[in-house]
Structure 1
Amino acid sequence: MADFSPPDDNNRAGQRGAEKSGKVADFRYRSPPQPKANSESHTRAKGQSRRPGGKRNDPVASNGQAEKPNFHNPQKAGLHRKQAYAALDLGTNNCRLLIARPEGENFTVIDAFSRVVKLGEGLAMSGRLSDEAMDRTLAALQVCAEKLRRRNVHLARSVATEACRRAANGAAFIEHVRQETGIVLDIITAKEEARLAVLGCHILLADGKGPAVIFDIGGGSTELILIEPDGKIPRILDWQSVPWGVVSLTDTVGRAEGTREERLARYAEMRRIVSDSFAPFAERIAVRGQGASEIRLLGTSGTVTTLASLHLELPHYDRRQVDGLIVQSRAMRDISTRLSAMSLEERGALPCIGNDRADLVVAGCAILDSILDIWPAENLGVADRGIREGILRSMMAADVQGDQRMQDIRNAT
C-alpha cells in the first residue's frame, strides 16, 4: 500500500499556510523534537544500489563470519515497554521506516526514513520485479537496517504489499533481502493492509457519527474500507482492494501523454478502469451513504497529501500542515482536473510534485476522482500516516496486554 510521497522539507517550510481554507484535526500523538538542519533523520541517505555479493558492513560474530541481525523475533529482543519499536512498509513505489517509543497511549517518533524505490516499475507488463528495481530497493533497505541497529530497536515488524504479492519472484526477493540485510519482510494480505491502514489513521476522521470510508491509494493497489465508529477502534463493515495504484495504473494505460486532448483521453480511460473495479464496492455501500445525514471520507496516500500541499500552495512539503487537514472535496477535484490536462513538464515544475512524481500523480488523481464518485463526502480528510503507524500501535498494544497478563500471573501467585 505504500505509495509515492512528496519530500518532507520541514527545515525550509516556514509558513503555516493559515490563509488557506481547511482545518486541522487532533493529531493525538507527539511530534518528534525539531531536528537540527543537518539531522540525519531528515536527510536522504546516499546508499548506492548494488548487485548481490558486494561488500557490507555487517556485525561480525565470534567465529569471524558475518552475522545478520534479527529484526523480527520479539523473543530475542529483550522487550521492554520503553524501548524502541519499528515499522517498515515496503510498497510498490516507496520504502518507509518509522521508529518510535511509547508515550502514554501514543508514541514519539525518534527516527524515520522514506525513499522512492519504484519496486513495482514494469511489474504490470512483465509480472516480475526487475533487477534494477530490486537493486534500488535493497539499497534503501540497507539504510533501514543500519537505522534499526543504530537505534537499538528491540521489536520490529516489516511488511511488503502489492508488488511482492503480485510478482512471480516476490518471495525470492524477500529471501534475498533477509540474507543481505537481516530484515524479515512479511508479505501481508490486502485485508491485513486495510486493517493496518485504518488502525494507523482513523483518529484523523472528522467529528461526526455518520458512516465513513477510509482509502489508501498505493503504488500497486487501492484499498477502500467502510467503517463505523465503535469505541477507540472503529469497526470495519466492508472493504475492497483493487489492483490499481499510481504505478500499476500508469503502466497499464501507458506513459505517453501527447497533446492536451490525448492527455484528457488518457485520464478518462484511467477513470473508466478504476470505476469499473470499484463498482461492486460502490453498489454495496450505496445504501449506507444515501441514508446518512452526513458521510465522512479520509484518505491516506501520497496522492491526497500532494494535492493538499498544492491546495495550501506550500513551497515545500510540510507534514505538520498536511497531516490532519480537512479540505473541501470540490477543491481536490479541481486540482485533479488541472493536473490531468497539464504536460509532464508542467506538473514536474509544481512545488511538492517534482520530476520524480510528475508521471504518477495523474493516476492518483483518477483514482481519487473515482472514489469521490462513489462516496461523495463534502469534505476530505488528509492523513500522512497509515500502515506504519498501524503496525506501531498494534505492537505497542500487544506489549501492554502482555505486561498486564504477566502482572496478573504475579498477583495470582
Structure 2
Amino acid sequence: MNDCFAVMDLGTNTFHLMIARVTDGHFTQIARDHEPVKLGEGGINKGFIQQNAFDRGLATMHRFSLQIKQYNIQRVKAIATSALRSAKNGQAFIDNVKEQTGIEIEIIDGLQEATYIYQGVKASGALTDDKALIMDIGGGSVEFIICTNNTMLWKQSFEIGAARLIERFHQVDPIPHQSITALHNYLGESLQPLFEAAQGITVNKLIGSAGAFETFAEVIELETQPAFDVKDIKTYNFDIDHLVRITDVLIASSNKQRQAMKGIISLRVDMIVAASIITRYVMQKLDIKQVSMSTYSLKEGVMAGLAQ
C-alpha cells in the first residue's frame, strides 16, 4: 500500500493511530486504533512519566508498530505533545520506542500542535468565513485558535490540560464549589492572553476539537438516539441549552454517576468534569452562543498536510 500513510498522535491521555490512503490530495481512513495510555497519570505536574505509564506507552507503540507492518506502510509520522514535551524522561521514552520498534517520534511545540489542530478542523468542514474559536482540550495542554476557513488570526497553547487540572483542583468528588471557584480564578489568570486576543474580534462560534466535545455530543444524543455513534460524523452542532444542561449535570456529578452515563468512555469519567468547567468558563467570558464540534483533530491535520 504505497499510497498509504500512518499517523500517530501520542497525547497525554491517549495514543492514536490512523492509517489512511491518499488520493489526489485527499485522504481516506482505512484503519484506526487508540489506547488510553494515561501517560501523565501520577506525574503530569511533576514533569515525569511514572514507570507504569511508561510501560503502557511502550506496549501501545509495539502494537501500533505491528499494525503498520501488517498494512506494509512505509511512510510513518509519530507526533508527541504535552506529556512527552514536558517530561524529564520524555527523551528516554522516545529513545526506547526508536530502539524497540524503529518508529521515530517527533516532539512538537504548542504552536505547531495548534496549527495541526486547525488543519484537522478545517478538513472536517466545520469552518466557514465567519470568525470562530477552536478549542482542543487535551490531558496536558489546551489549544485555542481564532480563525476562519482561510486563515489563522491567533493561536496559543496553554499547559492547563484536564489531567493537570484534576491533580490540582479535583481531589474530592463531586468537585466542591470552592474548588470550582479556585479553578475559575486560575483560568482567569492563565487564559488572559486569549481574552486579550479576542478583544475587538467578534467570535461568534466555539468549535470543540474532538475529545471532550465528542463526549458531550454522545451523552446528549444517546438520551434519545440509542444508535448514535460520534464516529459516524465529522461535525456536530450543539443545541446550546442541551450543552449547558449536560455540562451542569457533569460538573455536579459523582464518579459513580458519570460511570453509569451512556456515552462517557472510562478515560473521560474524571477528565470530563474539568473539560466541562473550562468549556463553560470560556463560553461565559466570550459570550459565545453557538457551539459545534469537529471529530477531526491533530492526527487528521497531520494527515491532511501529508496528503497535500
Q: TM-score range by the shorter chain?
A: over 0.9
Shift of 1:123: 2.3
Q: 2:215 aligns with which of 306, 310, 323?
A: 306
Shift of 1:354: 4.5
Cα distance 1:143–1:213, how it changes in 2: closer, same or farther (>3 A)?
same
Q: Which amino acid aligns with 1:241?
A: S
CA distance in 1, matches of 2:217, 2:55: 32
Q: 1:269 aligns with which of 175, 182, 185?
A: 182
**CA contact 1:305–1:322 (8 Å) conserved in 2:** no
Q: Deviations over 1:10-50 (max 9, x none)?
A: xxxxxxxxxxxxxxxxxxxxxxxxxxxxxxxxxxxxxxxxx
Larger radius of gyration: 1
1:198 is aligned to 2:118:
yes
Q: Greater strand share, 1 or 2? A: 2
Q: Describe the SS at the equivalent of 1:359.
A: helix
Structure 1, gaps ≥5 residues long: 1-79, 398-413
CA distance in 2, matches of 1:278, 1:322: 31
Q: Describe the SS at the equivalent of 2:191.
A: helix
1:152 is aligned to 2:72:
yes
**CA contact 1:286–1:374 (8 Å) conserved in 2:** no
**CA contact 2:120–2:304 (8 Å) conserved in 1:** yes
**CA contact 2:218–2:230 (8 Å) conserved in 1:** no
CA distance in 1, matches of 2:169, 2:98: 34
**CA contact 1:91–1:161 (8 Å) conserved in 2:** yes
Cα distance 1:254–1:325, how it changes in 2: closer, same or farther (>3 A)?
closer
Q: 1:114 aligns with which of 10, 14, 34?
A: 34
Q: Deviations over 1:269-328 (max 9, x none)?
A: 323322321122112212112xx7xx2221113111100111112557712455301113
Q: Greater helix share, 1 or 2? A: 2
Q: Deviations over 1:328-382 (max 9, x none)?
A: 3343222111111111100111012144421111011111112212433322121
Residue in 2 that maps onto 1:250:
166
CA distance in 1, matches of 2:227, 2:163: 23
Residue in 2 that maps onto 1:217:
137
CA distance in 2, matches of 1:204, 1:103: 17
CA distance in 2, matches of 1:173, 1:285: 38
**CA contact 1:271–1:369 (8 Å) conserved in 2:** no
**CA contact 1:308–1:322 (8 Å) conserved in 2:** no
Cα distance 1:317–1:141, how it changes in 2: closer, same or farther (>3 A)?
farther
Q: Deviations over 1:187-232 (max 9, x none)?
A: 10101100000101124455753211111110100000011332xx
**CA contact 1:205–1:297 (8 Å) conserved in 2:** no
Q: 1:334 aligns with which of 233, 245, 248?
A: 245
Give the 5 Å matches for 1:85-164: 85-164=5-84
Residue in 1 that maps onto 2:154:
238
Cα distance 1:181–1:352, how it changes in 2: closer, same or farther (>3 A)?
same
CA distance in 2, matches of 1:249, 1:108: 36
Q: Describe the SS at the equivalent of 2:201.
A: helix
CA distance in 2, matches of 1:125, 1:386: 25
Cα distance 1:204–1:297, how it changes in 2: closer, same or farther (>3 A)?
farther
User: 277-286 or 181-190: which moved more?
Assistant: 277-286
Count of residues in Structure 1 that have an aligned counterpart in Structure 2? 306
Q: Describe the SS at the equivalent of 2:77.
A: strand
CA distance in 2, matches of 1:87, 1:339: 32
1:325 is aligned to 2:240:
no
**CA contact 1:92–1:163 (8 Å) conserved in 2:** yes
Q: Describe the SS at the equivalent of 2:176.
A: helix
CA distance in 2, matches of 1:105, 1:343: 46
Shift of 1:390: 0.9
Cα distance 1:276–1:330, how it changes in 2: closer, same or farther (>3 A)?
farther
Residue in 2 that maps onto 1:16:
none
Structure 2, gaps ≥5 residues long: none
User: 306-315 or 82-91: which moved more?
Assistant: 306-315
Q: Which amino acid aligns with 1:333?
A: V
CA distance in 2, matches of 1:205, 1:213: 15
CA RMSD of aligned residues (A): 2.0
Cα distance 1:193–1:354, how it changes in 2: closer, same or farther (>3 A)?
closer
Q: Which amino acid aligns with 2:185?
A: R
**CA contact 1:213–1:375 (8 Å) conserved in 2:** no
Q: Describe the SS at the equivalent of 2:263.
A: coil
Q: Deviations over 1:108-136 (max 9, x none)?
A: 11110011000011223432100000111
User: 241-250 or 275-284: which moved more?
Assistant: 275-284
**CA contact 1:299–1:381 (8 Å) conserved in 2:** yes
